[in-house]
Amino acid sequence: MPDLALSSAATALQIRRASRAGVLTGHTSGLAAAHVQANLAILPAAQAADFQRFCDLNPQACPLLAVTSPGDTAVPALGADLDLRSDVPRYRVWRDGELVDEPNDVGRWWRDDLVTFAIGCSFSFEHALLAEGIALRHVEQGRNVAMYRSAIPTRAAGPFHGPTVVSMRPLRAADAIRAVQITSRLPQVHGAPLHIGDPSLIGIHDLARPDYGDAIELRPDELPVFWACGVTPQAAIATARLPFCITHAPGHMLVTDLLNRELLGH
């Protein structure tokens, strides 16, 4: 019998508790669909100020939803009864830039100097696009979105630098225009597109070979529309080869109590 608690209609707290209990270990796409999901970057306080500056300098790629004090395991602004050590279905633990563990719980890795950055995620703006009747092919096809390392540089801060990673969704022009309108109202989850049209103008030479995610067909009557992507901070963290850090595993997000419609202000 399927666990009805782990559905699009679940509450955010049900999803977090299922992660905490080890019942949910898969990705969170489509779960508790009304709720904002967040990318996590958990860094030692020694690197936190630089990373905060990196996010502030690159707000479209790294829109901050919340930042904790060192050692905090709760984030009341994002949810009641929320434990950062266990409420994500799968984490990644890094030492000197190398992946050393991929646990469902990071209690054994936790440190009192860890600062957590919760960063907005495109699931929220995709929810808004779908709610406005704009079809998204990768969603229809059950694939991951196509992502590329673009030639658009981020603005560096301390050890954090690198390319802006962009996600691409193929849209017909009228939908691309509406998508600009809708996502412009959602700066906390990447905001408006960075680029529309010719991929080579932003250093992408083969749409069929994304750097992350799945290739998605572009039809002759469509424009490729590119948004800044939450993989950008992950790539910058990897480049920085920090002595220690924790991130969520791709697609395994923190489900917050925030509602997507609250981001739209209605």
- The 3-state DSSP composition of the chain as helix, strand, coil percent (nearest 5) reads 25, 25, 45
Stretch that binds a second copy, among 75-83, 107-115, 173-181, 250-258 (CB under 8 A): 173-181
Local structure of residue 200 (DSSP, 8 states): G
Q: Which of 13, 33, 74, 180 binds a second copy (CB under 8 A)?
A: 180
x-or-dash pattern for a second copy, window 198-217, by CB under 8 A? x--x----------------
Following CA atoms 30, 245, 210, 90 in sequence, which dihedral angle do they give, to the nearest 10 degrees? -30
**What minimum distance in Å lies between the beta carbon of 8 and a second copy?**
30
- CA nearest to 80, candidates 163, 14, 31: 14
Interface residue with a second copy among 1, 98, 221, 265 (CB under 8 A) is: 221
CB nearer a second copy, residue 2 or residue 265 = 265
Alpha-carbon distance values, 128 to 29, 118, 178, 198, 231 (Å):
14, 20, 11, 25, 20
Binding-residue total with a second copy (CB under 8 A) = 17
Residue 177 interacts with a second copy (CB under 8 A): yes or no: yes
Nearest distance from C-beta of residue 173 to a second copy, angstroms? 5
> Whose CA is closest to 59, among 231, 191, 234?
191
CA–chain centroid gap for 165, Å, is 11
Nearer residue to a second copy within complex by CB, 138 or 195: 195
Near a second copy by CB under 8 A: residue from 12, 194, 246, 253: 194
* Residue 8 is a binding residue for a second copy (CB under 8 A): no
In whole angstroms, what is the distance from residue 128 CA to residue 34 CA? 10
Residues that bind a second copy (CB under 8 A): 173-174, 176-177, 180-181, 184, 192-198, 201, 221, 223
